[in-house]
Structure 1
Amino acid sequence: MKIAIGNDHAGTDYKLAIVGMLKSMHIEVKNYGTDGTDSVDYPDFVHPVAEDVASNAVDFGIIICGSGNGASITANKHQKVRSALCWTNEIVALARQHNDANILSLPARYISLPQALEMVKTFLETKFEGGRHERRVEKIPCK
């Protein structure tokens, strides 16, 4: 499995912990995020993740900013991307099961680091249910 990850300054600590966990799980990681805490613009780090997901260069993406909103909005501008802003483990599971989300957007300022790590595990382990949900996902327009 290969994951692309991107973050702004608010998500650096979370990104570093997530990358460490993914590597311990023998998952290849493409790191597009900043490793610092100086203010940066999240689109600069989210667009490459979304491009990798849209082109199938990676299996999934993880993006992290303060609220998760800006990063998710940016990612969802890309064709074939379904970025889900999640703040609980249950929403993560539903985003995968019902929406076939391929990018997980995390709000670093509103969830704890242990929550974020558990959410990433759930995202990677949960399968899309298909069925009635597949019909709905197919109705999401792609330009």
Structure 2
Amino acid sequence: MKIGIGSDHNAYEMKENLKDYMVELGYEVVDYGCQDACSEVDYPQVAFDVANDINENKLDRGVLVCGTGIGVAIAAGKVPGIRAALCHDTYSAERAQKSNNAQILTMGAKVIGIEPAKNIVKVYLESEFPGGNSARKVQQIMDKEKEFLKGVSI
């Protein structure tokens, strides 16, 4: 499985730890930045890049981190077709995939520590979307998104 990972400067250390951990678990990991903790990096572009590459089938899933995880979740969710889930516990991470087929997991480096984040990533990446009743609900979300986008001019 090919995983994109990205962060802003607030979450650089967590991103680096998670990247190494996912490699240890056997995943192919693509780093979208930021490249150090000193440069101020705006998270929206990092989130857009990961989300776009998921849509283009260059990645299977993504993990995005910023200070709270909220900003990257909102930014990634603006990309049509993307479902990003903010999770700070393993149960939510499992359900993000099993119930919502979320392609992107987001977390906040100022909210949780590295070890809990590793556990959350592991559970998220090991979880699979089973379809069933959840597929119907996810399709309703995607249909509504398409409906909204029909009338949008940017």
What is the identity, as a one-letter code, of the residue corresponding to 2:135?
E
Partners of 1:137 and 1:92 in 2: CA distance: 16
Q: Give the TM-score normalised by structure 2.
A: 0.88
Query: TM-score, normalised to structure 1's length?
Result: 0.95
Give me the whole-angstrom Cα distance separating, in 2, the residues matched to 1:115 and 1:50: 24
Which residue does 2:19 correspond to in 1?
19
Shift of 1:129: 2.7
C-alpha distance in 2, partners of 1:78/1:84?
13
Q: Which position in structure 2 is the counterpart of 1:41? A: 42
Residue 11 of structure 1 deviates from its aligned partner by 1.0
> Radius of gyration: which is bigger?
2
SS at match of 1:133: helix
Instruction: Give the C-alpha shift of residue 12 in structure 1.
Output: 0.7
Once residues 64 and 56 of structure 2 are traced to their aligned partners in structure 1, the CA distance between those partners, rounded to angstroms, is: 17
Q: Which residue of 1 aligns with 2:94?
A: 93
Measured in 2, the distance between the counterparts of 1:68 and 1:9 equals: 13
The runs of 4+ residues in structure 1 deviating greater than 4 Å are none
| Partner Cα distance (1:12, 1:35) in 2 | 7
CA RMSD of aligned residues (A): 1.1
Aligned length: 143
